[in-house]
A and B are shown apart, each in its own frame.
Chain A
Amino acid sequence: MTDKDKMKRLAEARQRKDWTQKEIEEFAKRRSRELKKISEDTEEPDHLASGTQKSIEEICKDDDKEE
């Protein structure tokens, strides 16, 4: 995908509020293929984790409200 295509898709995504079921299913199929391709070329860490170093209270308190 070219940068121009990316910008076009992003602009559309930011305006759209009503994706149809069919559009979501088509998106899912395309992204599934794209992600699978990256996965095949990328070694997943032996222990994949995020957020587990935080307490549940810290996670819930961080609500990105100030952004």
Chain B
Amino acid sequence: MSLPSRIEAEQRYEKLRALALEVTQNSLTGNLKLTQITPRALEATQNWVSSRLRQYNWDWPQNYSYYEKSYPKRFEIAVWENNILTAISLGRPTYHATGMRLDVVEAMPRDLGERSNVFDTIILAYEIYARMISANHIRIMNPVNETVRAFYERYGYQYIAKGNYLTRDIL
């Protein structure tokens, strides 16, 4: 992608990301606040390192920088509750742009403090962004364990072993 078209794409999809978060925010009844991934959100993920529940120490600041540069059409969300980061996620359209991939998501491990459920809010935001870009399904890539996979299945997602993802049409 040439530099001008890369910048144009970033600007165009930046507006869609902001709008998707605004529409999602307006649909919520609780006290969660949604933002894009900010430096403050990335810094807050460093507090999760001390969790005993966290299976992998994914480096959000470093990895976000890489992902942000690679995917102007990405979707990103940070979820805040009482000014504390409670979840963060990154995704992008599928290769043929018929779906949205949720590539990475992590919620604050609950041994670090109480928090509200976040998945319903995050997946709603993905579905709204998907509608905006005319994608018709969501893929949740690489569930971290069997418990998480079973949890996604409760939301109507179907597991596809080849590719290790769960999928659901947007209805």
Contacts and interface: CB of A to CB of B under 8 A. Distances in A.
A53 B28 contact: no
A60 B141 contact: no
What are the 4 tightest A-B residue pairs by CB atom distance, in nearest-first order?
A: A51-B104, A35-B120, A32-B27, A52-B58
B124 A52 contact: no
Given A32-B124, A64-B163, A42 B154 contact: yes
Contacts, number: 148
B155 A52 contact: no
Please tell me the size bucket of the interface on B. 35 or more
Contacts of A28: 23-24, 26-27, 124, 128
25 contacts: A19-B134, A25-B26, A27-B128, A27-B131, A28-B26, A28-B27, A32-B27, A32-B124, A38-B154, A39-B117, A39-B119, A42-B154, A44-B107, A44-B117, A45-B148, A47-B51, A48-B105, A48-B118, A50-B140, A51-B103, A52-B58, A54-B142, A64-B163, A65-B95, A67-B96
Interface of B: 23-24, 26-29, 51, 53-56, 58, 62-63, 66-67, 70, 87, 94-96, 101-107, 109-111, 117-121, 123-124, 127-128, 131-132, 134, 136, 140-144, 147-148, 151, 154-155, 163, 169-171
B66 A56 contact: yes
A9 B137 CA distance: 12
B148 A64 contact: no
